[in-house]
A and B are shown apart, each in its own frame.
Chain A
């Protein structure tokens, strides 16, 4: 490949438009759980990569929570060295196939890409996904040479993105690492929450398998706090513990009728469908309500995942009920766009206040209130205010409550010396995630509250270095 002349470099690049992502047709995809975007071809990837102008001070990198050498890997893609590009990303991000799919790039790297000022930003996320898939499909994922054993044992509690990341990092430093996971499968939200059509479970399984191959021990069906406490882990000879237990407890609205049959937390609805594969009932044993009129309460990514799951389970009307407007919705633009394409309906400025059930205790109606936007609140978004006397009834047979999650209290309750804040999240002393309990670190959603995959991974990575220093000093 010949380098273009310096002078017209910029002009040449901008002539290539941002390459669209091929996708399953919306009418077809609501009938299946297969992934919606089908991925770049090698040709498209090279073309897209060539749009990058290789900035000397790349804005994109400063937008990346784990500082991926973005121009570096994009350059390798442009050169057709896809495996080299994968290795480059993996220097700082061990789950690129996941991040390429679920990171909010529009708020991170792509937001700060210089091309975005005048044209469209480089499709960094799609390229990341492409190279990770290429490497996985090529079957060339390398097992790195591991350093000599340090004889230090580290327990990681929770196999979500934070726990998986730190386990990989620590094992590569020569430590003996065991992950304890409460569920029967590893992956955390990646496996139980995010649906197959956004993140195929085979990808998560492959990442977990890789960790096993490099020597991470994984014990599933192990609820720490119940089976063993943190004290027990130290007594068993672990030198340090990392808590990556997520913020997995569902929040309900505490309105009348909320416990009627047919009303789910988003966690339950998604867990049944994703983890337990209820969408393949009766091949799999776990059932799920296949409602005709499904209302999903909330406006975040979790709500979008739930409502799109409802459509795929056969809902005739799948509706988002959100108390503010489209502009305030926290969900990613891409998810909202996909949901709209698929026929999801949106009722903005609407809030449920009560559910009405039938004689069998099954939800039949939802009483809603209309809202209007008032003054901005602490989050800077305009606060929804009730319009008096605006109540009306909507027919529903399934409701998914997706108004947030909070910390699960089991670990703090059973771990003396571990401080939490008033919302139940674990208090850390510094950015490495060291807690108030000696030898115990924490990171991911259990520290920050619900955040993102990449931030959880970043937390795992920072804690890995600190734990390494700590156990080597013992």
Chain B
């Protein structure tokens, strides 16, 4: 049982929750995630560990409310509990040995990106971050990311704040301006990661993307999380979650993410109905 110690609504539908998980907090490294299950009837869902406090023994997650489980999670307040938390899962991000890294984050992906930027910075890397959202209201972690970066670019799709356009546009400009980049980390919606990979591919800049397929156990036992990378099947939970963006079959990932849309809709509606009773 994991007691929630803090909950903050960051934007319209993005929420930050801090909860107790002392053993995981001690072990966790940037890029790793947990699988949590709110109660015994719940689904097991993966969420990235955005931050940890080994002293207080807490983990921070930031998530977008997209369906039944994230909705239910967003309603839990300090003092409430999450029944099951498994982790830390996945390989930590490789952060050693880069002079300059560009961290590109979109939407809730900025939450996943932030700990990586922070870890890179702590290693003395020059970090250029490009973060974007659909509109100003939906932008998260701007100050935190700025603190972890040497240079920060902000974009919005509708031009309500920062650069009017996509994160990939800024990246393209940086490359065109001759910025020497050793590694790009791109985390966000699948279409965004695909575009970023397409931008860096001709320049042979290695680009890591963090994939978010549907998972069940998170230990390599089921294969729900399989993705095709370089023509080979990989299990995201044990082989990932980061993969070479130039090799990932994004189309397959997107179609697999839509596998249960009908049932997810049903579950979400039921959950809404329950609230109105």
Q: B residues within 8 A CB of A283?
A: 41
Closest residue on chain A to residue B270 by CB atoms: A282
Query: Which B residues are within 8 Å of any A CB, using their own CB?
Result: 23-24, 27, 37, 41-44, 68-69, 83-89, 216-224, 226-228, 233, 238, 251-252, 254-256, 258-260, 263-264, 266-267, 270
Known: A184-B84, A221-B86, A360-B255. 11 other contacts (CB 8 A): A184-B44, A184-B83, A259-B252, A268-B216, A282-B263, A285-B267, A361-B251, A361-B252, A361-B255, A362-B255, A409-B238
Q: B residues within 8 A CB of A227?
A: 23-24, 27, 87-88
Complex partner residue of A250 from B43, B84, B222, CB under 8 angstroms: B222
Query: Which A residues are within 8 Å of any B CB, using their own CB?
Result: 182-184, 192, 220-223, 226-228, 248-250, 252, 254, 258-262, 264-265, 267-268, 271-272, 276-277, 281-287, 289, 360-362, 408-410
> Are B89 and A223 closer than 8 Å at their CB atoms?
yes
> Are B258 and A249 closer than 8 Å at their CB atoms?
no
> Are A182 and B222 closer than 8 Å at their CB atoms?
no
Complex partner residue of B219 from A223, A228, A277, A282, CB under 8 angstroms: A223
* B206 CB → nearest A CB, Å: 24
Q: State in angstroms the CA–CA spacing of A262 and B255 once bound together.
A: 11
Q: A residues within 8 A CB of B217?
A: 182-183, 271
> Are B223 and A267 closer than 8 Å at their CB atoms?
yes
Per DSSP, chain B at the interface is mixed
> Are A226 and B41 closer than 8 Å at their CB atoms?
no
Q: State in angstroms the CA–CA spacing of A283 and B264 once bound together.
A: 13
> Are A221 and B84 closer than 8 Å at their CB atoms?
yes
Q: State in angstroms the CA–CA spacing of A226 and B23 once bound together.
A: 11
Q: A residues within 8 A CB of B42?
A: 284-285
27 contacts between A and B (CB under 8 A): A184-B44, A223-B89, A223-B218, A223-B219, A227-B23, A228-B27, A248-B220, A249-B220, A250-B222, A258-B233, A260-B255, A261-B256, A272-B216, A277-B41, A281-B263, A281-B267, A282-B263, A282-B270, A285-B42, A285-B68, A287-B260, A289-B259, A289-B260, A360-B255, A360-B258, A361-B256, A361-B258
> Are B255 and A265 closer than 8 Å at their CB atoms?
no
Per DSSP, chain A at the interface is loop
* B250 CB → nearest A CB, Å: 12
* A22 CB → nearest B CB, Å: 32
Q: State in angstroms the CA–CA spacing of A266 and B256 once bound together.
A: 17
Q: B residues within 8 A CB of A408?
A: 219-221
Q: State in angstroms the CA–CA spacing of A221 and B219 once bound together.
A: 11
Q: State in angstroms the CA–CA spacing of A228 and B24 once bound together.
A: 9
Q: A residues within 8 A CB of B85?
A: 221
> Are A259 and B228 closer than 8 Å at their CB atoms?
yes
> Are A410 and B220 closer than 8 Å at their CB atoms?
yes
> Are A265 and B223 closer than 8 Å at their CB atoms?
yes
Q: A residues within 8 A CB of B220?
A: 248-249, 408-410
Complex partner residue of B86 from A223, A258, A267, CB under 8 angstroms: A223
> Are B37 and A184 closer than 8 Å at their CB atoms?
yes
Q: State in angstroms the CA–CA spacing of A259 and B225 once bound together.
A: 10
> Are B219 and A261 closer than 8 Å at their CB atoms?
no
> Are A287 and B264 closer than 8 Å at their CB atoms?
yes
